[in-house]
Chain A
């Protein structure tokens, strides 16, 4: 097996967690494959109306 490190990562799930992880990895200089089974990223947070405790719009 080759010992060469591959400078890329896969992130499974495109909710807020996956999106943030993918952004942080990409901004740190790694190529990222963000994999999402649905037709758009955003996850459950995009379904929320407002968020606590600031009542900010979730979208």
Chain B
């Protein structure tokens, strides 16, 4: 494996074709292959089951052709024994195989595809190069596509997956929206569904936008697909909401397949002695969401229940926190530190530029004449060495590059390849390994900016690549080594908010050895969880919260500041200074901060709330259970109204927790008094994941579910002494009148909007008032502001298990920073030449990050200086400075002018 240079010669010569599983078998690949172009590691592998050499001892082409002598037919699986302190299981899921459903004829009709196959069809690296066509022989562009939801989910009759797979509604909407982007607005997309489950952050808006773009949503479960002879199109029969039988013909049908646990994962779990749920997911307790039933073994991702990417990322960090807690006493005992290569001093040396031209497989070489480009590079001033690599980013090329730099004494490096956004760090690492300052590196983007966008005109693309490269070399020749500032990270943490998320984060930080302060504005810890009765798994919330609170009180690394708020915040990552006010007036110095400010229930202004004592919010209903209120015995009927204040134009998000909460409370009522009439009035039931089992249990227990539309909301009235709810029944199509001795309003979850706090830490909020995380998918528990993390319902409404997980996740992310003990400022920042500064103050006023200030003392008192820690390198001050006193490391005026002049030369 170390020898493979990923040149692809073996694949070219391999005579054996097999299914390309990466492309959902819509394409063939060879028996020796690399999974996909960007695979890590980028190494070719042999499929032993189909390789002719391994099965019949013939062929052997790949060994003959391999220029690196990397083929080893005798390679055998080895068993390694690892001694570790903890284990994280993240085996993922298996997409459901719909072949068993004869009604959908997936195996028989080419234009019935799974959603995974459709992803590949949409992808530029897929079987159709991103051209949306049918899979039948005509390869025509479809005009009408249907999605069938819940294939292999919420289905106990045809498969055993009674749970909801959580992600399919959203991915179907996404696929429909992207399909429309590909083939134009005329493409007719219809999604056939039971309940539309868009319960994640910004999902409801996405759903509403899709409706506006013309995606049709048909609430119906389709049972039969009939082929239309000779066209490979498909006829679908379904019953509409109002009972009409419809027939429609689609060119393509996408089965929205669910997520299930792979049998090999079930076996692994059994071997490890881990308990599974009825849906075959790892079992966990609500307040220990990543802990399996076996100590020291943790679980994250879809194996802990079907979930989307951000939720899986939260799990991942939470599991790292839980697994790391056990190992705290052995931190840094097994890690290895790379030996630092001494940096050679190149100041004053004549530039000796090395140019590496990357082919990026065929990504660049397919359009740009890389040989001609490399030849051209040799003619440029100061260029000492030029080469062309198939993949400049591969590990072996990196090693070779470091050797060449040393051997040829290169002191500037230019790589003409893809984007610095993804690869600059990698090449800079190579420079460091070769003893060069990492800022003596320039990347020229001849892929995204050139070969990809000028595919049709390869000659012009080659000319453009030459121009770009010439500019890059001109700039690099003027580079100077840059220094990075080093700062200590204060080892104390601050958590804002003492609810479950905040307490969990604090406990996790303390368990990894960090002093932690909890700032809570109320007079007690616990937050909204204090109002909750029990979890859906039956755990007593009050008891669990009390346990957590006690653990915090006895923890001498945690200080709790009650009745306390934040007055001011100064500083930056690693070195914050926060002035507290109220109960505690401490000036707290801390390295990181976690925002866990929580959310509160909406106090409804409709459905007679506040006018009649029988009308309650969900949390008030919980209190009735907690206090064993006599109304629970006397009531003969109970009604729940869902989406009170959620999913409406002024609050266009789903509050995520209310469906499950109401179903659980409805079941509790039924258990308490089986002959009570219990109704839940809903718009879509969103009992995602294994919460679906609870929904089924409620229906089996006789809870009646009645759907209403936003434009025909239920009406609550008083009739004599009775409370009456009027609603139109969606099955009968007739108005119903329900008596309600208890009326529970599932009111929206509102963030505890705190503009001042957002300002203090420079963290953004969205239109709904929830904090905006670093990345919707990959960075859910941290902010774009370095050193500030996020957990709980301040991020988005979520149930307790997800809240605990995110509390842990925020702590894990924070620990990665605290454990480093030092942060480094970028070398690419602005610097003032004080001797030239005219003290005009423009830089001070123009900087969005407050980095420049006037010096108070010293020879240059009154002149400007720039704090490199706060400087983001945006260059505003450099452009604004009227004296030309500000220089920008890596983007200095001389360097940029050199690029401009050589471009027009």
Query: What does the 1/0 interface line of B300-341 toward A look like (CB < 8 Å)?
Result: 111100000100110111011101101101111111100000
Tell me the bound Cα distance from A46 to B91 in angstroms.
15
Q: Contacts A15-B301, A46-B38 known; A28 to B174 CB distance under 8 Å? A: no
**Contact of B838 with A by CB under 8 A:** no
Smallest CB separation, B176 vs chain A (Å): 11
Q: Contacts A5-B330, A9-B327, A18-B316 known; A40 to B40 CB distance under 8 Å? A: yes
Q: List residues of A (32-59) whose CB comes within 8 Å of B's CBs.
A: 33, 38-56, 59
Q: Say whether B119 contacts A42, CB under 8 Å.
A: no
Q: Which residue of B315, B330, B812 is within 8 Å of A6 (Cβ)?
A: B330
Of chain A, the residue at the smallest CB distance from B290 is A21
Of chain A, the residue at the smallest CB distance from B173 is A52
Q: Say whether A51 contacts B327, CB under 8 Å.
A: no
**Contact of B380 with A by CB under 8 A:** no
Tell me the bound Cα distance from A25 to B324 in angstroms.
6
Chain B contacts of A44 at CB under 8 A?
92-93, 95
Smallest CB separation, A4 vs chain B (Å): 8
* Contact size range, A: 35 or more
Q: Which residue of B82, B302, B324 is within 8 Å of A28 (Cβ)?
A: B324
Query: What does the 1/0 interface line of B268-310 toward A look like (CB < 8 Å)?
Result: 1000000000000000000000000000000011110000010
Q: Say whether A53 contacts B84, CB under 8 Å.
A: no
Tell me the bound Cα distance from A24 to B290 in angstroms.
15
Q: List residues of A (1-37) whose CB comes within 8 Å of B's CBs.
A: 4-13, 15-31, 33
Q: Say whether A30 contacts B334, CB under 8 Å.
A: yes
Q: Which residue of A30, A50, A59 is within 8 Å of B327 (Cβ)?
A: A30
Chain B contacts of A19 at CB under 8 A?
316
Smallest CB separation, B687 vs chain A (Å): 20
Q: Say whether B39 contacts A39, CB under 8 Å.
A: yes
Q: Say whether B313 contacts A20, CB under 8 Å.
A: yes
Chain A contacts of B92 at CB under 8 A?
13, 15, 17-18, 43-44
Q: Say whether B119 contacts A49, CB under 8 Å.
A: yes
Q: Say whether A17 contacts B119, CB under 8 Å.
A: no
Q: Contacts A13-B92, A46-B36, A52-B174 known; A8 to B334 CB distance under 8 Å? A: yes
**Contact of B170 with A by CB under 8 A:** yes
Q: Say whether A24 contacts B178, CB under 8 Å.
A: no
**Contact of B41 with A by CB under 8 A:** yes
Of chain A, the residue at the smallest CB distance from B296 is A9
Q: Which residue of B38, B40, B819 is within 8 Å of A27 (Cβ)?
A: B819
Chain A contacts of B171 at CB under 8 A?
52
Of chain A, the residue at the smallest CB distance from B259 is A44
Chain A contacts of B205 at CB under 8 A?
53
**Contact of B120 with A by CB under 8 A:** yes
**Contact of B776 with A by CB under 8 A:** yes
Smallest CB separation, A16 vs chain B (Å): 6
Q: Say whether B123 contacts A49, CB under 8 Å.
A: yes
Chain B contacts of A12 at CB under 8 A?
87-91, 268
Q: Contacts A28-B324, A30-B327, A40-B35 known; A20 to B317 CB distance under 8 Å? A: yes
Tell me the bound Cα distance from A38 to B317 in angstroms.
23
**Contact of B76 with A by CB under 8 A:** no
Tell me the bound Cα distance from A27 to B336 in angstroms.
12
Q: Which residue of B41, B91, B331, B813 is within 8 Å of A29 (Cβ)?
A: B331
* Contact size range, B: 35 or more
Chain B contacts of A7 at CB under 8 A?
85, 327, 330-335
Chain A contacts of B83 at CB under 8 A?
6, 8
Q: Say whether A24 contacts B316, CB under 8 Å.
A: yes
Q: List residues of B (4-35) whose CB comes within 8 Å of A's CBs.
A: 22, 24, 34-35
Q: Contacts A6-B85, A18-B90 known; A29 to B332 CB distance under 8 Å? A: yes
Chain B contacts of A48 at CB under 8 A?
119, 123
Q: Chain A's interface: helix, strand, loop or mixed, by majority? A: mixed
Tell me the bound Cα distance from A12 to B205 in angstroms.
36
Smallest CB separation, B741 vs chain A (Å): 41
Q: Say whether B95 contacts A30, CB under 8 Å.
A: no
Chain A contacts of B123 at CB under 8 A?
48-49
Q: Which residue of A28, A38, A47 is within 8 Å of B816 (Cβ)?
A: A28
**Contact of B161 with A by CB under 8 A:** no
Smallest CB separation, B420 vs chain A (Å): 17
Chain B contacts of A43 at CB under 8 A?
92
Smallest CB separation, B427 vs chain A (Å): 20
Chain A contacts of B268 at CB under 8 A?
12
Chain A contacts of B813 at CB under 8 A?
24
Chain B contacts of A39 at CB under 8 A?
34-35, 39, 43, 45
Tell me the bound Cα distance from A18 to B315 in angstroms.
10
Q: Say whether A21 contacts B316, CB under 8 Å.
A: yes
Q: Which residue of A18, A21, A46, A56 is within 8 Å of B777 (Cβ)?
A: A56
Smallest CB separation, A17 vs chain B (Å): 3
Of chain A, the residue at the smallest CB distance from B812 is A24
Of chain B, the residue at the smallest CB distance from A5 is B330
Q: Say whether A28 contacts B812, CB under 8 Å.
A: yes
Tell me the bound Cα distance from A22 to B819 in angstroms.
15
Tell me the bound Cα distance from A52 to B329 in angstroms.
40
Of chain A, the residue at the smallest CB distance from B304 is A17
**Contact of B748 with A by CB under 8 A:** no
Smallest CB separation, B20 vs chain A (Å): 11
Smallest CB separation, A49 vs chain B (Å): 4
Chain B contacts of A50 at CB under 8 A?
122, 174, 178
Interface centre among B312, B321, B815 (most CB of A within 10 A): B312
**Contact of B206 with A by CB under 8 A:** yes
Of chain A, the residue at the smallest CB distance from B95 is A44
Q: List residues of B (91-114) whose CB comes within 8 Å of A's CBs.
A: 91-93, 95
**Contact of B584 with A by CB under 8 A:** no
Tell me the bound Cα distance from A15 to B87 in angstroms.
16
Q: Contacts A17-B301, A53-B776 known; A9 to B88 CB distance under 8 Å? A: yes
Interface centre among A13, A41, A45, A55 (most CB of B within 10 A): A13
Q: Say whether B816 contacts A27, CB under 8 Å.
A: yes
Smallest CB separation, A20 vs chain B (Å): 4
Q: Say whether B116 contacts A47, CB under 8 Å.
A: yes
Tell me the bound Cα distance from A11 to B92 in angstroms.
12
Smallest CB separation, B225 vs chain A (Å): 25
Q: Say whether A21 contacts B88, CB under 8 Å.
A: yes
Q: Which residue of B45, B309, B332 is within 8 Å of A45 (Cβ)?
A: B309
Tell me the bound Cα distance from A41 to B506 in angstroms.
32
Q: Say whether B170 contacts A53, CB under 8 Å.
A: yes
Q: Say whether A52 contacts B203, CB under 8 Å.
A: yes
Smallest CB separation, B48 vs chain A (Å): 12
Tell me the bound Cα distance from A53 to B54 in angstroms.
45
**Contact of B628 with A by CB under 8 A:** no
**Contact of B890 with A by CB under 8 A:** no
Tell me the bound Cα distance from A47 to B25 in angstroms.
12
Q: Contacts A6-B84, A9-B84, A49-B123 known; A27 to B820 CB distance under 8 Å? A: yes
Tell me the bound Cα distance from A43 to B200 in angstroms.
22
Tell me the bound Cα distance from A49 to B125 in angstroms.
9
Q: Say whether B335 contacts A29, CB under 8 Å.
A: yes
Q: Say whether B776 contacts A5, CB under 8 Å.
A: no
**Contact of B622 with A by CB under 8 A:** no
User: What 6 A-B pairs come out closest when comparing CB atoms?
Assistant: A7-B330, A17-B301, A24-B320, A27-B816, A20-B316, A31-B334
Query: Please, could you name 18 A-B residue pairs with CB atoms under 8 Å apart, sorted by A?
Result: A6-B327, A8-B83, A8-B334, A10-B84, A11-B88, A12-B87, A12-B268, A13-B92, A16-B309, A16-B778, A21-B317, A25-B324, A29-B335, A30-B330, A39-B35, A49-B120, A49-B178, A55-B174
Beyond A4-B330, A6-B83, A54-B777, list 11 extra A-B contacts (CB 8 Å): A7-B327, A10-B88, A17-B300, A21-B320, A24-B324, A28-B816, A33-B82, A40-B36, A48-B119, A49-B130, A52-B203
Q: Which residues of A contact B (CB under 8 A)?
A: 4-13, 15-31, 33, 38-56, 59
Q: Which residues of B contact A (CB under 8 A)?
A: 22, 24, 34-36, 38-43, 45, 82-93, 95, 116, 119-120, 122-123, 125-126, 130, 170-171, 173-174, 177-178, 200-203, 205-206, 268, 300-303, 309, 312-313, 315-317, 319-321, 323-324, 326-327, 329-336, 512, 776-778, 812-813, 815-816, 819-820
